[in-house]
């Protein structure tokens, strides 16, 4: 499809692999924004399509106008210095970390004007990514059947939680619900605990996000080969079920249901997380061979354990795991966690400090690699962010722009890309269709 000359983007990529690729972004919460984050990092121009009329929870915060008392109490987190500011939606950490290098426009898709803007944007774009409930997209006309007619070369990646078909297609969900439904929460927890005590381990979202980014690139390769666009369905729950494949197969082949086993492994032994010097300081240790077991015993200065016949093989170490955990804990509780990690790693034993956020920011390895990158945001301030997800040889990459404020790039999108006149632009502003603030009636 012939495209008009492209004006300079507010986010320049400096010749990265996806330079010149434009993606319409309808993503929400975490999985979808992580997918488009990866693509934006590698040069794609990602335009977030948002609305001043509707606030999407858990995307730009929990609510548009959060009470300061809730933030002070710790019930709502993620605002720098616990201050919501005049526009809290521009200061929320969850949005800031997953929307760097992106642009933001506002549009009311419930109006004819909004639908016209959407059609113009689709005509000048290469792809679209969304991860909403199917019915939500149907209501505003974001469907393959419609958009592929507007732009036959469009690559459309759809990431609804449970897919485009089936009885769950319109279920509203977050990552923890998806993981519960595919069996994750029935597998991971402390022995004897119930699912209510297993903790909140949200892994489906980032896993789905990475899959979504890869799916988009597969679609671009398909388009290059055929000259035609394609719709790719990346059902987040389906994808995460693959991460549990060995458990599912074990049940299918052996009829065996797994029970919680805490930090222990079904093969390696001992394996666990052990207390160290300090308040709530821990180190994880895994023994995968007899040589590693003897190395651990040497570090502990416990020749008696190394020579004990009961512990020479993994089967014996698993059988006496409780006893070995007590011995290891007695040693680690008197040692600094970093010292344990470094000494065991020096002996070829897998070990790692259980870090908190402060540890990660100060970690010498991450800092030596230049992992943290500083970005300045006009409303959220200057902070260090996790760097680009992937690295490429001889292709330097970095974070180029902080997350966009709501509607920050309206002028670029409407005037430069979509060729709206000054009068048209001002009319849409007057209708509240274009703006940088949510409707005051939104809580």
Ordered DSSP codes for 270-312: SEEEEE-SSTT-EEEEE--SHHHHHHHHHHHT-HHHHT-GGGS
Distance CA 41, CA 52 (A): 26
- The owner of tokens 């080969």 is 225
Mean pLDDT (the chain, rounded): 94
Q: Which of 75-79, 236-240, 282-286, 406-410 has the lowest mean pLDDT?
A: 236-240
CB-based contact 190:260 (threshold 8 Å):
yes
| 92 closest CA partner among 438, 439, 440, 370 | 438
| % of the chain beyond a pLDDT of 70 | 98
CB-based contact 52:438 (threshold 8 Å):
yes
Burial class (CB in 10 A: 0-12, 13-18, 19+), 59: buried
Share in percent of the chain as helix, strand, coil (round to 5): 40, 10, 45
Neighbours of 187 (CB within 10 A): 16
Q: What is the dihedral of CA 13, 376, 211, 14, to 10 degrees?
A: 10
What is the token pair recorded at 252? 């299918």
The hierarchical CATH code for the domain 22-242+374-430 is 3.40.50.10540
User: Is it the case that residue 179 has pLDDT exceeding 90?
Assistant: no
- The owner of tokens 């029970």 is 259
Please give the model's pTM, rounded to 2 decimal places: 0.93
pLDDT for residue 287: 98
Q: Where are the domains of the chain?
A: 22-242+374-430, 271-362
Q: Which residues pair with 130 in a beta bridge?
A: 26, 158
pLDDT digits (tens, 9 = 90+) for 6-54: 788 888 777 899 999 999 999 999 999 999 999 999 999 999 999 999 9
What number of residues does the chain have?
A: 443
pLDDT-derived band at 4, boundaries 50, 70, 90:
low
In the predicted model, what is the mean pLDDT of residues 309-324? 96
pLDDT for residue 29: 95
- Alpha-carbon torsion (67, 69, 71, 74), positive or negative: negative
Residues 6+ apart with CB under 8 A from 106: 50, 51, 52, 406, 407, 410, 433, 434, 435, 436
pLDDT-derived band at 202, boundaries 50, 70, 90:
confident
Q: Which of 57-66, 244-253, 294-303, 322-331 has the lowest mean pLDDT?
A: 244-253
| 13 closest CA partner among 398, 416, 428 | 398
Q: Which of 3-7, 170-174, 175-179, 304-308 has the lowest mean pLDDT?
A: 3-7
Ordered DSSP codes for 333-386: TTS-HHHHHHHHHHTT--EEE---HHHHHH-HHHHHTT-EEEEEETTTEEEEEE
What is the token pair recorded at 218? 């597969």
Q: What fold characterizes domain 271-362?
A: formyl-coa transferase, domain 3 (3.30.1540)
What is the token pair recorded at 302? 């416990």
pLDDT for residue 182: 86
In the predicted model, what is the mean pLDDT of residues 322-331? 98
């Amino acid at each position: 499809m012939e495209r008009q000359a492209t004006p300079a983007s507010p986010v320049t990529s400096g010749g990265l692999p996806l330079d010149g690729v434009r993606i319409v972004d309808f993503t929400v919460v975490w999985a979808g924004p992580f997918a488009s984050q990866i693509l934006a990092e590698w040069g794609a121009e990602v335009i977030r399509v948002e609305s001043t009329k509707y606030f999407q929870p858990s995307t730009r915060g929990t609510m548009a106008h959060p009470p300061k008392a809730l933030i002070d109490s710790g019930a709502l987190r993620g605002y720098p210095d616990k201050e919501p500011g005049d526009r809290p939606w521009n200061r929320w950490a969850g949005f800031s970390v997953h929307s760097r290098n992106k642009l933001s426009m506002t549009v009311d898709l419930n109006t004819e004007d909004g639908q016209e803007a959407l059609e113009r944007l689709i005509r000048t774009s290469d792809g679209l990514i969304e991860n909403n409930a199917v019915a939500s997209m149907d209501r505003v006309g974001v469907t393959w059947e419609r958009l592929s007619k507007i732009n036959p070369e469009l690559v459309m990646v759809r990431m609804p939680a449970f897919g485009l078909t089936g009885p769950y297609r319109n279920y509203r969900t977050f990552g923890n619900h998806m993981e519960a439904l595919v069996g994750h929460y029935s597998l991971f927890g402390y022995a004897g605990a119930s699912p209510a005590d297993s903790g909140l381990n949200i892994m489906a979202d980032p896993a789905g996000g990475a899959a979504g980014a890869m799916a988009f690139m597969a679609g671009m390769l398909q388009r290059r080969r055929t000259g035609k666009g394609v719709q790719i369905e990346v059902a987040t729950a389906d994808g995460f079920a693959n991460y549990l494949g060995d458990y599912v197969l074990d049940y299918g082949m052996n009829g065996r249901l797994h029970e919680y086993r805490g930090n222990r492994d079904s093969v390696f032994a001992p394996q666990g997380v052990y207390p160290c010097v300090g308040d709530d300081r821990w180190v994880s240790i895994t023994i995968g061979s007899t040589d590693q077991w003897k190395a651990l015993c040497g570090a502990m200065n416990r020749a008696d354990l190394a020579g004990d016949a009961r512990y020479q093989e993994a089967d014996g170490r698993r059988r006496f795991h409780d006893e070995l955990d007590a011995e290891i804990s007695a040693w680690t509780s008197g040692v600094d966690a970093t010292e344990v990690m470094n000494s065991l790693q020096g002996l070829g034993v897998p070990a790692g400090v259980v870090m908190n956020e402060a540890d990660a920011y100060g970690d010498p390895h991450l800092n030596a690699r230049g992992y943290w990158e500083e970005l300045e945001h006009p409303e959220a301030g200057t902070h260090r962010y996790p760097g680009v997800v992937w690295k490429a040889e001889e292709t330097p990459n970095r974070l180029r722009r902080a997350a966009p404020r709501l509607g920050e790039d309206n002028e670029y999108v409407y005037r430069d890309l979509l060729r709206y006149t000054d009068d048209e632009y001002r009319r849409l502003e007057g209708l509240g269709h274009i703006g940088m603030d949510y409707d005051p009636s939104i809580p």
